Amino acid sequence: MKLLNDSVVFSFSRSNDPAVYVDVPAEVEVETKDCFSNQLCSPEDRMEQLDWDKTNPATGPIYVNGAEAGDTLKVTVNKIKLAQQGVACCLEGEGVLGHRINGSHTKIIQVEDGIAHFATGIDIPVNTMIGVIGVAPEGDPVNAGTPGRHGGNMDNTMITEGAVLYFPVAKEGALLALGDVHAVMGDGEIGVSGLEIPAEVSLTIELIKGRQYEYPVLENNESFSVIVSKPTVDEAVIRATELMHDFLTERSDLPDTDVVMLMSLAGNLQICQVVDPEKTVRFVFPKAYMGRAEF
Ligand code: CA
Ligand code: ZN
């Protein structure tokens, strides 16, 4: 099934009308616009002219038949196919270095054969990832530029081909939506933009009934991670670490305090992004040292 990018939402909301209904397991192809709704296509296109109401479009929502609050939506990212051109930008007052920028700056970047041509002599291998992906939240609508327990704008470089995401379903149908693909982005996304690019994403959607985690969890071949967003990095660090401690304790026969030591020796606390309205970190732990390495 294919979902076109003319079905977009700009917030994750319980009251969004579904664009499509699917039965699990579902194979879905989703077209995504870039985070500016493809408004910046040439170096002359200025950020000052942007219609900010059209930023962070998320294609969807996909209504998953049978999903109810309390369940977990399991989403596998099979493939991300990029357009041939993306855009990077920076803007006065925005991001960690916003105080060093005058005006706005846009760079159109060609992407071919897995390489982003940033400048002469600076070719960056792509690390294709999904910036915005999530489900309807528990409470009020959350604009698609903000991350949270529902997922959303997590800007996590690990949401790439092969990643499996587990989202806490808060509303019947789950209402999955996604967008904001990056051809490449550094951890932190310090200048508020990755290499923003339209894409086509292939997903498998499954459902786990009757249990869920407080925040999204990511699994890949090597590790599990918990992805937590909070108003400050410090708060996100504490909750991500607590939740990974719970996650590991539930899946291990070790005493709680051994799990603390093991996390301190072999776990990695990493930054996803520090530039969105809430900051996102992940606690990554290798499957090899887990008792039961399953969600
Ligand atoms: Ca983003
Ligand atoms: Zn983006």
pLDDT of residue 44: 83
**How far, in Å, CA of 232 to CA of 132, rounded?**
19
Is residue 241 scored above 90 in pLDDT?
yes
**How far, in Å, CA of 119 to CA of 257, rounded?**
50
- Ligand in nearest proximity to the CA of 196: 2
**How far, in Å, CA of 204 to CA of 161, rounded?**
12
Residues of the chain with pLDDT > 90, as a percent, come to 93
**Residues that place a CB less than 5 A from ion ligand 1:** 131, 153, 155, 180
C-alpha distances in Å from residue 44, one per residue of 12, 49, 51, 183, 194: 32, 10, 15, 21, 19
**271 three-state secondary structure:** strand
pLDDT in tens, 250-293: 999 999 999 999 999 999 999 999 999 999 999 999 999 999 99
Distance 193 CA to ligand 2 centre (A): 5
Distance 68 CA to ligand 1 centre (A): 27
pLDDT of residue 193: 96
Give the residue from 132, 7, 135, 131 showing the smallest Cα distance to 60. 7
Distance 130 CA to ligand 2 centre (A): 8
Q: Which residue has the higher pLDDT, 41 or 138?
A: 138
Distance 190 CA to ligand 2 centre (A): 12
Q: Which residue has the tokens 């079905």?
A: 7
Contacts of 115 (CB under 8 A, 6+ apart): 123, 124, 125, 126
Give phi and psi for 17, each to the nearest 5. -75, 130
Give the residue from 81, 80, 37 showing the smallest Cα distance to 57. 37
Distance 239 CA to ligand 2 centre (A): 25
Task: Report, as an integer, the average pLDDT of 213-227.
Answer: 98
**How far, in Å, CA of 220 to CA of 242, rounded?**
21
pLDDT of residue 273: 98
Distance 72 CA to ligand 1 centre (A): 23
pLDDT in tens, 75-107: 999 999 999 999 999 999 999 999 999 999 999
Report the sign of the C-alpha dihedral through residues 169, 170, 171, 176, in that order. Answer: negative
Distance 245 CA to ligand 2 centre (A): 30
Q: Are 198 and 108 in contact (CB under 8 A)?
A: no
pLDDT in tens, 133-161: 999 999 999 999 999 999 999 999 999 99
pLDDT in tens, 173-208: 999 999 999 999 999 999 999 999 999 999 999 999
Distance 265 CA to ligand 1 centre (A): 31
Distance 117 CA to ligand 1 centre (A): 21
**Which pLDDT band holds residue 1 (cuts at 50, 70, 90)?**
confident
Is residue 119 scored above 90 in pLDDT?
yes
Q: What is the DSSP letter of 193?
A: -
pLDDT of residue 45: 86
**Which pLDDT band holds residue 5 (cuts at 50, 70, 90)?**
confident
Q: Which residue has the tokens 């990554």?
A: 284
**234 three-state secondary structure:** helix
Q: Phi-psi region for residue 261, left (φ > 0), alpha (ψ -120 to 50) or beta?
A: alpha
- Ligand in nearest proximity to the CA of 144: 1
